Structure 1
C-alpha cells in the first residue's frame, strides 16, 4: 500500500507538471492571454524561455528533481545522503544539458 501511494504521488506530480509546463514561470495574465484555459497537454511555446525545450506532455526539472531524490533514496536503502542526491541531480543536469538551457531553478543551480 505504501509503495502504491508513493507511486501515485509521483505520477500526480509528473502529470500536473506536464500539464502546467507550457506556462512555466509566466504570470497568470500572460498565461490567460496566450492559452486561454489549459485543459490538455501542450508543447512548450517558443516564447517561453523556461518551457521552450519541452514537447507536449513532458515534465520539467521539478519532476526530474523529485525522481533524482527518489532514486537516491532507493540507492541508499531509505537513507538521505546529500552527496548521492547531488550526484543524481548532476547526472540528470548533464544528460539534459540543463546548464545551457534555462530549466534549472535557483536552488538546483
Structure 2
C-alpha cells in the first residue's frame, strides 16, 4: 500500500501538471498545428491568447473550465469520500453555480446545454445526450 504522503505528492503533482498544461494549451485551443506555428511558433512556455481567440478574455497563464471542473470534482470526492454519478453531477452543478459559467467565454455549447439541463433537473444520462462538440 502506498503511504499517504507519497500518494498526496503524486496527486498534487498530477493536478499541478494538469493546471500548467491547461494554461499552456489554452491560447492554442481549437487551433490547427499550422495556425499555432503561424501565431506562436513552437509553444514551450506560457503565452497569452491572441485578441481574436476564443479565450481572449483569459489572461496570461490562466486556466480553463477543464482545470476548474477537475478541481471541483476533487473537492466533491473529498467531501463525499467516494465517486459515483451523483458526486459527478454535484461537482458539475456546484462548479456551474460557483463560477458563473454561463457568463464565461470558455464554456462550449454542448457543455452549456448539458449543464442547463442538469440544473433544470434532467437526468444525467439524458442531459448531455445531444451534444455537438
| Global fold match (TM > 0.5) | yes
| Alpha-carbon distance change, 92 to 45 in structure 1, aligned in 2, over 3 angstroms | farther
* Cα deviation 1:21-63 (Å, max 9, x = unaligned): 11011111111111112222122222111x2121111111111
TM-score (norm 2): 0.69
The residue number in structure 1 matching 2:63 is 59
Q: How does 1:81-100 map to 2 (within 5 A)?
A: 81-100=84-103
| 2:14 is the counterpart of 1:3 | no
| CA distance in structure 2 between the aligned counterparts of 1:102 and 1:38, rounded to whole angstroms | 23
| Larger radius of gyration between Structure 1 and Structure 2 | 2
Residue ranges of structure 2 left out of the alignment (5+ in a row): 1-5, 115-133
What is the RMSD computed on CA atoms of the aligned residues?
A: 2.0
TM-score by length of 1: 0.82
Structure-2 change in CA distance of 1:14 and 1:98 (3 Å): same
Whole-angstrom CA distance in 2 between matches of 1:29 and 1:47:
16
Q: Which residue of 2 aligns with 1:23?
A: 28
Q: Which runs of 4+ in 1 moved over 6 A?
A: none
C-alpha distance after superposition, 1:47-92 (max 9, x if no partner): 111x212111111111112111111101111x11433433333333
Q: Is contact 1:42-1:55 (8 Å) kept?
A: no
